[in-house]
Amino acid sequence: MAVTRTFSIIKPDATKRNLTGAVTAKLEEAGLRVVASKRIHMSREQAEGFYAVHKERPFFGELVEFMMSEPVVVQVLEGEDAVKRNRDVMGATNPADADEGTIRKEFALSIGENSVHGSDSEENAAIEIAFFFNDDEIVG
């Protein structure tokens, strides 16, 4: 299995509750390596741009406001089959549907305040990584 990269966000509900380390520990226990990380406070432009694919959804406004509400930690994760590995450890989008042991089962508050974002494909991972990081900020 090839070593690949994915993109992760530790969301405002998690940073606000001081769970950055706890979430990162779950990622590392799942075999993912943090090869880039920065704590940022998203601007409206960043939040709307990042989630542009959802702009017709009824929850878009709420999603953008939430992502701007507190700092987030954006990360690049590396590991074997990183996109799937990360999605497995994150758990289902809605924490009510998430499996035991997953980040969202353990930490998420609701479908909106669901603690983490992870890319859904390698193609989107590359786009999302480039949205927040320059190549020289990623140290594998």
Question: Is 117 noted as a catalytic residue in this protein?
Answer: yes
- Residue 21's alpha-carbon distances to 10, 48, 116, in angstroms, are 10, 27, 13
The reply to whether 114 sits near ligand CMP by the rule CB under 6 A is yes
The span from the CA of 120 to the CA of 111, in Å, is: 16
The reply to whether 63 sits near ligand CMP by the rule CB under 6 A is yes
| Burial degree of 26 (CB within 10 A; 0-12, 13-18, 19+) | buried
Least Cβ distance, residue 101 to ligand CMP (angstroms): 19
Least Cβ distance, residue 60 to ligand CMP (angstroms): 8
Footprint on residues 77-106 left by ligand CMP (CB under 6 A): 93
Single residue of 111, 122, 124, 126 touching ligand CMP by CB under 6 A: 111
Letter for the amino acid at 120? D
Contacts of 61 (CB under 8 A, 6+ apart): none
The reply to whether 117 sits near ligand CMP by the rule CB under 6 A is yes
> Which chain residues interact with ligand CMP by CB under 6 A?
54, 59, 62-63, 93, 111-112, 114, 117
